[in-house]
Structure 1
Amino acid sequence: MTNPTNGHDEVPIDEATGTADAAAPEAEASLMDAGPALLAAAQAEARDMKDRMLRTLAEMENLRKRTEREVADARTYGVTSFARDMLNVADNMRRAFETLPAEARPAEGPLKAFVEGIDLTERELLKTLEKHGVKKIEPDGQKFDPNLHQAMFEVPNAELPKGTVVQTVQAGFVIGERVLRPALVGVSTGGPKAAPQPAASDEA
């Protein structure tokens, strides 16, 4: 049909509707063909998001544990330098106490009180350090442990197993699980082989 106004042919309404109806099944079929691919892409994206979320959670948990460990270490080992200095003070007090032999110490009087005061002060100092995790190593009679002890000399002694600590020259100390200062010791060189000792953490 020709439009008398503009001279162009018009498409009948019924014909246009039929064309649209014919195109609809094709579009639907195309969408159905693309459906599995879209689903697979969505599933892959979901897996990727889940993986990233799990990684983020794992990183946050590791950060939390690392922070807790660092805080605990700071609390335990933060006094290391101070404790080492205090051990020097304790050593000097012990030397002063031992300068006067036991048989020469008076039974009474001001000097007796002075000597006892030095001994008491040293004990109180070590007790205070122990409250902060600093513990004394007492190795006499134990098997020599290079992690805790430093050998200063050897003593021939057939009655003791080889490698047994026979004398402590200077006391050692640990703080937490770390050696603050190794014990300076003398070690036996003769006799039967020493029996195994507990782990270093148990000895400390």
Structure 2
Amino acid sequence: MQEKDVNQNEQEEVIEDAEQELVSDEETATVTQTDVSEEEIQALQAEKDDLQNRLLRVQAEYDNFRKRTKKEKEADLKYKSQSVVTELLPVLDNFERALQVEVDDQAAKGVVDGLAMVYRQLKTVLENEGVSEIETDGQYFDPNLHQAVMQVEEEGFESNQIVDTMQKGYQLKDRVIRPAMVKVNQ
């Protein structure tokens, strides 16, 4: 019987200890809840909102950067041959001048025919790259495509109409590489 009393006493002590721990845990929880003030909660909420806004801005900036980089790469690919074409335009002009020479000798005609073949081949290569000649015959002056070198008064032409082309102009796809140098009627 004494054993039962001892066991019962031990059980009661364990229960009392558990109750005391429970009460102290509740007091600690109450103290921690009251330690965090409303001001601190608002400050933490404001900081969270600020960080979220900054994150959204960084994401938007990154998206804009990615789109801009993609457009720049596309433009670079579209106009990749511009520097080479710009260097070849004077060569094309010189071919045209050489082909305008009148020759009577049979050997010279063979050379001119060879030059004409090379000229056509060069022109075909440039056209395949997207190079096109700017139209001037019968056109009206457009400052985006033409460069007026002279103004003249010619019969049979309207005001602001191109009279003569001094130097051909070229564009690569939709970009003007060299404007056409023209005479314009007043």
Question: TM-score if structure 2 supplies the norm length?
Answer: 0.70
The amino acid that maps onto 1:134 is V
Equivalent residues, number: 165
Aligned residue number for residue 181 of structure 2: 184
User: Runs of at least 4 residues of structure 1 off by over 4 A?
Assistant: 32-39, 109-113
Which residue does the alignment assign to 2:121? 124
Partner of 1:61: 63
Matches within 5 A, 1:158-169: 158-169=155-166
Q: What SS does the corresponding residue of 1:150 show, helix, strand or coil? A: strand
What is the correspondence of 1:32-47 to structure 2 with a 5 Å cutoff?
37=39, 39-47=41-49
User: 5 Å matches for 1:102-141?
Assistant: 112-141=109-138
Matched, 1:83 2:80: no
C-alpha separation between the residues in 1 aligned to 2:55 and 2:136?
53
Q: Equivalent residue of 1:174, what SS? A: strand
Q: Percent identity?
A: 36
User: By how many angstroms is 1:86 displaced?
Assistant: 0.9
Cα separation, 2, equivalents of 1:113 and 1:89: 20
- When normalised by structure 1's length, the TM-score is 0.65
- Residue 101 of structure 2 corresponds to which residue in structure 1? 99
Tell me if the contact between 2:154 and 2:163 (Cα under 8 Å) persists in the aligned partners: no
**Letter of the structure 2 residue corresponding to residue 73 of structure 1:** A
Q: Is the 8 A contact 2:136 2:165 kept in 1?
A: yes
Residue 149 of structure 1 deviates from its aligned partner by 1.1
**Where do 1:9-20 residues align within 5 Å?**
none
Which blocks of at least 5 consecutive residues in structure 2 are unaligned?
1-15
Letter aligned with residue 56 of structure 2: L
Structure 1 gap ranges (5+): 1-12, 190-204
Offset from partner CA, 1:169-198 (integer Å, 9 cap, x none): 211012244321111111112xxxxxxxxx
More helix by share: 2
Please state how far the C-alpha of 1:110 moved relative to its aligned partner.
5.6
